[in-house]
A and B are shown apart, each in its own frame.
Chain A
Amino acid sequence: MAGEAAAKFKVGDQVRIRVGVPPTHFRTPEYVQGKQGKIDTLWGAFPNPESLAYGGDGLPAQPLYQVEFAQTDLWHDYKGSASDKLLIDIYEHWLETI
């Protein structure tokens, strides 16, 4: 795909979700912002919704990853099992190297 960035992260990499509230439509919920997780899947590159939502072309397409978090890392008072996970799809420009 034209204008597609090469994926910067690979499966298994530890990443932190960037903190931010850009003045646009963004798909990174606040409950994962600032949290540390692990790349579970690379889905490929998709147009950036922050541009698409305002009539832009969404390019360059952003690599999209499924990131896995331990629930106990998201919520300090998590009630379930220590092995429980939360998975969420995050575009690369929201991921920071640790």
Chain B
Amino acid sequence: MVENGHHDGHGHGDNAEYYSLRAAAMQALLIEKGVCTLDDILTMADKIDSRSPKDGAKILAHAWVDPEYKKRLLADAESAFLELGYDLPETSPKITVVENTDEVHNMAVCTLCSCFPRAIIGRPPAWYKELAYRSKVVVDPRGVLQEFGTAIDEAVQVRVIDSSADYRYLVLPMRPAGTDGMSEEQLAELITQESMIGVGLALAPENVRAS
């Protein structure tokens, strides 16, 4: 066991060294016990690191412009991902897409740990893994939305999805007004990581920084 040293036992939130040592120890044990190979671990890590919110944004922007694709994406996300060249590794949990509308607003969380649609949008942001978000969003989702500066009308149903098992959830945000003439590429720039978790909305076009 890793020595706790001078730590006070109240968790290791700021101790990156502790976590990397623990990860290295677990990796060594998994390989030694034949649970998986070093190659399996590196392949999966490479896959996750090769994906980022940009990939999710590209897929979801396509759903904004192609209603038939959107139907397929909502019915069977993994086949729809494949259509655009995104395959999931065999070891990936299932991923499904939920649509935000003017009647329902979905938000994703993993209260037990940090389950996230990594195989499509990469690693979760740090706040997603913190107890503050994980504990508050299920109890007071509208309070969390407020903290993120996201205004959701009282008449809209807020649906918090706790990814506690074999499915991961990717949120399809609503397409903002005033985006009719925009290309798919420009639309993808409106889709932020926060909007794909459901704590935010897609950006209004005037809020995208010119690049």
Binding site for B on A (CB under 8 A): 27-29, 31, 43, 46, 49, 64, 66, 71, 74-75, 78-81, 83-91
Contacts and interface: CB of A to CB of B under 8 A. Distances in A.
A81 B104 CA distance: 12
Interface of B: 94, 111-112, 138-143, 154-167
A90 B165 contact: yes
15 contacts: A27-B112, A27-B164, A29-B111, A29-B112, A79-B140, A81-B158, A84-B157, A87-B159, A87-B162, A88-B162, A88-B164, A89-B162, A89-B164, A89-B165, A89-B166
A29 B164 contact: yes
B26 to A, nearest CB: 13
Nearest to B142: A80
B205 to A, nearest CB: 29
A42 to B, nearest CB: 12
A57 to B, nearest CB: 13
A61 B111 CA distance: 23
